[in-house]
């Protein structure tokens, strides 16, 4: 008769040894899922607030996770870092369009855990002009130089919005978003498509004013109330499959931070300082996007998200259609 290891110890009068063996096995399993430092890339925009809050308030540490935030001005570098295995994920605010491009190049390398929809109510995207500019509508930017952030998503969105306003030959300059208020104020560019907190920074410092908010929902999706899922937080598929329990713990902690942002945004806002260009008391005025955790997406949400990806396909940013639904994280059973 075959005796397994545990049965052998018990038959031999070693019940205590059997218990010790079980404990050792549990420890081995725990050690097997110890990922060490978890490197997460983030762009310097307001949408990353749940991640900033979780890091600043020690939520990840409370969960036993060693998470390090890595700042990137160009979000494309975040994508490259994840593909190369140098980052295990990214925060909210990382362009969903850049993630779609990566999906085409390297299929199934990430899963979306939280996305940040915006529109005219939940403000992130906007056009800004100089404080004393005579320009009163986007259509008046014809023949002007217009700025946008770095990366293919910003460029495609800016072109698309201008085209919807009858401008098809725009001069578009890609600049670090933190430079937008100064560049607009100095006259180097007439306007900029930018993301918060840069619009607030420019306004409160007397450099710029907001020309129009929620521009992607209005002009690209065709409804100012529609949710534009322009940014997403993800984990790499490699990290999720290698450390499934750790991934679930990370996501649970991220969800906890999202809940704080939803229920107590004024408390959470302070965590933008140091992660975005905003400073001091100015942070109180920054508008916030909405958030959807992977299991909160409605069928209408998916429809609008898919519409954005289809826009990127029509704009030749994507070389083939990318379906949104399969990109959402699904917990292992």
Q: What is the DSSP string of 255-297?
A: HHHHHHHHH-HHHHHGGGBTTBS--GGGGGG------EEGGG-
Structure tokens of 121?
A: 């109510």
C-alpha 137/C-alpha 129 separation (Å) is: 10
Specify the pLDDT at position 319. Answer: 98
Residue extents of the structural domains in the chain? 38-119+228-327, 125-213
Specify the pLDDT at position 32. Answer: 65
CATH number of the structural domain 125-213: 3.40.190.10
Specify the pLDDT at position 34. Answer: 85
Specify the pLDDT at position 2. Answer: 40
Look up the pTM and report it. 0.89
CATH number of the structural domain 38-119+228-327: 3.40.190.10
Contact 66, 38 (CB under 8 A): yes
Report the half-sphere exposure of 235 (CA within 13 A, side-chain side). 27
- 10-residue mean pLDDT profile of the chain (333 residues): values are 36 36 38 86 98 99 98 96 98 98 97 99 99 98 98 98 96 97 98 98 98 99 98 99 98 99 97 96 96 99 99 98 98 82
């Amino acid at each position: 008769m075959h005796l397994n290891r545990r049965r052998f110890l018990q038959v031999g009068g070693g019940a205590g040894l059997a218990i010790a063996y079980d404990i050792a096995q549990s420890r081995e399993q725990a050690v097997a899922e110890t990922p060490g430092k978890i490197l997460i890339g983030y762009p310097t925009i307001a949408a990353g607030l749940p991640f900033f809050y979780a890091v600043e308030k020690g939520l990840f540490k409370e969960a036993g996770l060693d998470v390090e935030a890595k700042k990137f001005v160009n979000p494309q570098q975040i994508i490259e870092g994840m593909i190369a295995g140098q980052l295990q994920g990214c925060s909210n605010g990382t362009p969903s369009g850049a993630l779609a491009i990566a999906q085409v190049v390297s299929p199934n390398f990430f899963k979306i855990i939280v996305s940040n929809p915006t529109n005219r109510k939940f403000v992130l995207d906007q056009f800004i002009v100089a404080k004393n500019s005579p320009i009163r509508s986007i259509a008046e930017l014809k023949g002007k130089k217009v700025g946008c952030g770095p990366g293919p998503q910003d460029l495609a969105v800016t072109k698309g919005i201008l085209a919807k306003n009858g401008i098809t030959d725009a001069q578009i300059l890609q600049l670090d978003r933190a430079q937008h208020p100064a560049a607009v104020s100095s006259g180097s560019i007439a306007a900029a498509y930018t993301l918060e907190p840069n619009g607030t920074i420019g306004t409160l410092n007397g450099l710029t004013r907001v020309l129009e908010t929620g521009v992607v929902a209005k002009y690209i999706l065709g409804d100012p109330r529609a949710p534009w899922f322009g940014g997403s937080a993800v984990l790499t598929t490699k990290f999720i499959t290698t450390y499934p329990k750790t991934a679930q713990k990370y996501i649970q902690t991220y969800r906890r931070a999202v809940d704080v942002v939803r229920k107590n945004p004024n408390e959470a806002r302070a965590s933008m300082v140091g992660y975005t260009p905003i400073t001091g008391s100015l942070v109180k005025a920054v508008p916030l996007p909405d958030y959807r955790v992977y299991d909160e997406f409605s069928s209408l949400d998916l429809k609008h998200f898919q519409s954005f990806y289809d826009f990127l396909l029509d704009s030749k940013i994507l070389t083939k259609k990318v379906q949104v639904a399969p990109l959402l994280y699904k917990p292992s059973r």
